[in-house]
Amino acid sequence: MFLKNNMSKTIHEPVLLREVLDGLNPQPNQNHIDCTYGGGGHSKAILERIKPNGKVIGIDLDPAVKKLNHDKNLVLVNDNYKNLKKIINELGITKINGVLLDLGLSSDQLGSGDRGFSFQGEGFLDLRFDPTSDRPTAAEILKNYSEKELLEIFKNYGEEPLAWPITKQIIAKRQSGEFIETADMLVQLISEQYRKKYRHKSKHNPATKVFQALRIAVNDEYGNIEQVLPDAINSLAVGGRLAVISFHSGEDRIVKHFFKNAAVKDFPKIKIITKRPIVASDEEVLKNPRSRSAKLRVVEKI
């Protein structure tokens, strides 16, 4: 996950913190992995429970993560969580008791206009978690992908109800020599389509689903999730737990199906701890609105 260099000034609200701690149940001298370190809120809470000799390995795509470590029990790694197996092997850790995947954007990302994560401002539409990656930016996707490819991204990754008119308008602007390269340009285009279709203003920004879809495509988020889940289970010691927080139906569907298949009766690898996903309380949603769509699922290695 992307971190700002001045992130120490940012208030980070870890989602479902109490529920994550209950699910992972970290104990003194255990080793846990936070695959999406972000603002470090979950990791810091886990750290307090695994001392004096336990370790928390925090993984993050932003190089700035290496400058943040001031705790001897915390090991920060600048990498993609899809490389979990390699990371564990390189660190030489033989026993992992808990793994956390928080698939949401951190508070720092949500406030970042410079890479287009924020709807506000003129930030370039990058949307890559790793700015040094050779993957195409969101602006490049909007400029170069075919009408069919854009439509599939908006429908499959964003479940955008106006995917077709939005795609048509992007293509029309391209044909006239106008390219959507900044966040505010994309927001304006989407808002215009919503005003044509709906009289009443939505409670949520109409650009939310398109930005989500582009971010997933840019970072191959679904592919990363599908790769890390089996590696996370395999890395756990017997009795160790994996907790996953998802924020939209596509993510949750991948996690749910993987857990279901891994818990088959004949040769089960895991026991499902949360029969239904845990969601944020009304109180938490009031304090931290981004927790509104969060779903937590927990399984145990057997």
- Say what the pLDDT of residue 7 is: 41
Cα distance between residue 95 and residue 16, in whole Å: 26
- Alpha-carbon torsion angle 96, 243, 52, 37, nearest 10: 100
42 labelled binding-site residue: yes
- Say what the pLDDT of residue 13 is: 82
- Say what the pLDDT of residue 5 is: 41
pLDDT in tens, 164-214: 999 999 999 999 999 999 999 999 999 999 999 987 776 778 999 999 999
102 labelled binding-site residue: yes
Tokens of 44: 């810091």
pTM exceeding the 0.75 threshold for the entire prediction: yes
Q: What is the mean pLDDT of the chain?
A: 91
Q: Mean per-residue pLDDT for 106-127?
A: 65
40 labelled binding-site residue: yes
Would you say residue 280 has pLDDT above 90?
yes
Q: Does residue 117 contact residue 218 with C-beta atoms inside 8 Å?
A: no
Please name the amino acid found at residue 97. Answer: N
Would you say residue 101 has pLDDT above 60?
yes
- Say what the pLDDT of residue 217 is: 98
- Say what the pLDDT of residue 12 is: 61
Residue with tokens 């993510």: 251
- Say what the pLDDT of residue 131 is: 82
- Say what the pLDDT of residue 123 is: 85
- Say what the pLDDT of residue 118 is: 67
116 labelled binding-site residue: no
70 labelled binding-site residue: no
Would you say residue 8 has pLDDT above 80?
no
Q: Mean per-residue pLDDT for 147-174?
A: 98
Cα distance between residue 56 and residue 136, in whole Å: 32
109 labelled binding-site residue: yes
- Kindly report which listed range (3-12, 34-43, 51-60, 69-78) carries the lowest average pLDDT score: 3-12
Q: For the stretch 74-105, what's the b/e string if a residue is b when 16 or more beta carbons lie within 10 angstroms of its beta carbon?
A: bbbbbbbbbbbeebbeeeeeeebbbbbbbbbb
Q: Mean per-residue pLDDT for 122-142?
A: 92
Tokens of 157: 């990754």
Pairwise pLDDT comparison (51 vs 69), residue with the higher score: 51
- Kindly report which listed range (23-32, 60-69, 127-136, 235-244) carries the lowest average pLDDT score: 60-69
39 labelled binding-site residue: no
CA distance from start to end of the chain: 30
Cβ neighbours around 22 below 10 Å, total = 14
Q: Which domains occur in the chain, in start order? A: 7-108+221-301 (3.40.50.150), 136-219 (1.10.150.170)
Pairwise pLDDT comparison (107 vs 172), residue with the higher score: 172
Report the percentage of the chain scoring pLDDT > 70.
90
